[in-house]
Structure 1
Amino acid sequence: MAAELDIDVNDETETGDGMDWRQRAIIVCDPTPFSRRLTVDILRFAGAERIQTCSTPESAIWFAENADNPLMVVDWRDERLDAAHAIRKLRRTRGDANRTPTMILSTKHTLLDIEAARDAGADTLALRPVSPRGVTERLTEITQRPRSFVKTANYNGPDRRVRSAEGAGAFKRDRDVADGKTTPLQAARAQAQSIIFSMLRRGDELSARIGRSLERFLASVDALGDREREIIQLHRASLGRLADLQGESLEERMEVVEGLETLVRRRLRD
């Protein structure tokens, strides 16, 4: 995600246990009975042994918290169920359930929809109509070859960064800093600009405003020290809070941004 400030990644651990996905407890969350049955039929044809169906994110998360080795399939056909929001809520639960492998089945296919699914913490997204073979390939990939699980202030989920083509362990941004091609401050400034452009493209002016706040702050400093990293962390947390408040009132979301701006001004005066 362009908006993720991952200068300091807090936690990365592998989540795979080698268990065949067909033997896991598969939770199908879909508010529409017809498409829910269709998904179950596809999963059973592909070899799934245990399937639990539900129609709300709350019930899906409850099953994930109370099942052994769960795997979640969430439908994103219309506005009756916001799959991205449901997975974001799952990722913020406590305990092992927040690392449940997840797949979104969707009729949405724009770049912004795909980015929204990825940025919520989905492991993969498959466009309907999907075949049993397609389901098998995707669920095998996310359970047998999972990406590292990342925890930051505004994102919990599989690592979204792309590794280099030659398979090196470092990511391009990290290598560029290590090789002296850029500095941590320059990388942070670039990410602040990326936040602005990404959020404006999504039509999220308030999140773009957080990017501008960070851009202004980073333009005023010469290096990243403890205070600077603390303020970067405040912006991370504010982006995460806005994501959590999707669908809430403009006033409530505005309070997050204005509170951040006030706090940053105070820190700069200290």
Structure 2
Amino acid sequence: MLWLLLLGSRITMSKEYDLRGVRVLVAEDSEFMRSLISDILTELSVGDTVAVHNGEEAKAELEKSSEGDMSTPLYDLIFSDWAMQPCDGYELLKWVRSHHNPDIRFLPFIMVSAYSTLEWVTQARDAGVTEFLTKPVSVRTIVARLSSVIEKPRAFVKTGQYFGPDRRRRAVPYNGTDRRR
């Protein structure tokens, strides 16, 4: 089972996963946070973590990986800070969700931010984020988001104004007329 010993407490995913074949892109302008997230992913046995400084570098990495050159494999997941320059995580997320290549468009995207107000989380959700991770991050919170991405994948939805993971996290009983087409 995947676990770490941290201050005497065991942190686990509910199932055993082999993450050695997983490739993660981390976009974070803070050197400390970039190293912290990358180091945690390495300790969780993630196979390959590539860290970049901003959204523009992330776009270049994603394009390079999607060109079909086997020397640069595709990514499986993105961790991105929200507040970066010259291209922030929100712009990167919108670019990912509107990309023509499905290998990029359907990537799970975990937004990392120190701003966790309802407004920020809603804005990220409405842009197609898969998970939202509030700073400061910890092994526990990263494991929780990875577990959610792996154990509770959500179907993607396309409407006139939205493309991304289904925003409904739970089934709510509805007794009215079904107006869906």
What interval of TM-score do these two structures reach, taking the shorter chain for normalisation? Answer: 0.7 to 0.9
Whether 1:133 aligns to 2:147 is: no
Gapped regions of structure 1 (runs ≥ 5): 1-18, 166-170, 179-183, 188-228, 230-270
Q: Aligned in 2, Cα 1:130/1:84: closer, same or farther, shift over 3 Å?
A: same
Higher relative contact order (CA 8 A, sep 6+): 1
Question: Comparing both structures, which one devotes a greater share of its residues to strand?
Answer: 2
Scaled by the length of structure 2, the TM-score of the pair is 0.74
2:177 is paired with a residue whose SS is helix
The one-letter code of the counterpart of 2:176 is D
Whether 1:84 aligns to 2:90 is: yes
Gapped regions of structure 2 (runs ≥ 5): 1-16, 66-72
Aligned length: 155
- Between structure 1 and structure 2, the one with the greater Rg is 1
Task: Answer yes or no: is the 8 Å Cα contact 1:28–1:40 preserved in 2.
Answer: yes
Pick aligned residue for 2:50 from 44, 49, 52 = 52
Alignment of 1:1-270 (within 5 A): 20-21=18-19, 23-65=21-63, 66=65, 67-76=73-82, 78=83, 80=85, 81-96=87-102, 97-165=104-172, 172=174, 176-178=176-178, 184=179
> How far 1:79 moved relative to its partner?
5.2
1:31 is paired with a residue whose SS is coil
Task: Answer yes or no: is the 8 Å Cα contact 1:64–1:70 preserved in 2.
Answer: no
Task: Answer yes or no: is the 8 Å Cα contact 2:28–2:84 preserved in 1.
Answer: no
> How far 1:70 moved relative to its partner?
1.9
For 2:109 and 2:19, the matched residues in 1 are separated by 11
Task: Answer yes or no: is the 8 Å Cα contact 1:20–1:140 preserved in 2.
Answer: no
Q: Aligned in 2, Cα 1:57/1:105: closer, same or farther, shift over 3 Å?
A: same
CA root-mean-square deviation: 2.5
Task: Answer yes or no: is the 8 Å Cα contact 1:84–1:122 preserved in 2.
Answer: no
| Counterpart residue number, 1:264 | none
2:129 is paired with a residue whose SS is coil
1:160 is paired with a residue whose SS is coil
For 1:91 and 1:177, the matched residues in 2 are separated by 31
> How far 1:92 moved relative to its partner?
0.3
- Once the two structures are aligned, what percentage of the paired residues are identical? 30
> How far 1:62 moved relative to its partner?
3.6
| Counterpart residue number, 1:16 | none
